A = this chain, B = another copy of it.
Amino acid sequence: MSSSYSNYTNSPCAACKFLRRKCTSDCVFAPYFPPEEPLKFANVHRIFGASNVSKILHEVAPHQREDAVNSLAYEAEARLKDPVYGCVGAISVLQREVLRLQRELEETNVDLMRYDSFLGGETSAYGGRRG
């Protein structure tokens, strides 16, 4: 649970402040949207809508809510930066990087096997790696 949760009695959470409503002790947003991070809520609200975020929070177990909010905030920020691809753009980049590294590793293993056959297997401790 965020250390900022204890602040809800002093100041409404970022969500309630944004939505101009009273922040009660059972506010589902308060533990994850502290007043000092107004942009975090503004972003998820803009992309998912407060009602959908609230639904997701109620769907997941309390101990998973912080992770859920952080992943929603990450997705929202990515979508605001790149309205066309959002964080799916990052997935494409990473998938290409995995393929590039797999090819590179494959080629390096071929080189190792060439060395091995060049040495007639006398240094078999240096056998090719397979990912």
- Residue numbers of A with Cβ under 8 A of B are 46-49, 51-52, 56, 59-60, 64, 67-68, 71-72, 74-75, 79, 83-91, 94-95, 97-98, 100-102, 104-105, 107-109, 111-112, 114-115, 118-119, 123, 126, 128-129, 131
Contact = CB atoms under 8 A, between A and B. Distances in A.
Copies of this chain held together in the complex: 2
B72 A86 contact: yes
A51 B119 CA distance: 67
B101 A126 contact: no
Contact of A64 (B84, B97, B107): B84
Given A47-B48, A75-B88, A115-B123, 4 more contacts: A56-B83, A98-B101, A108-B129, A111-B129
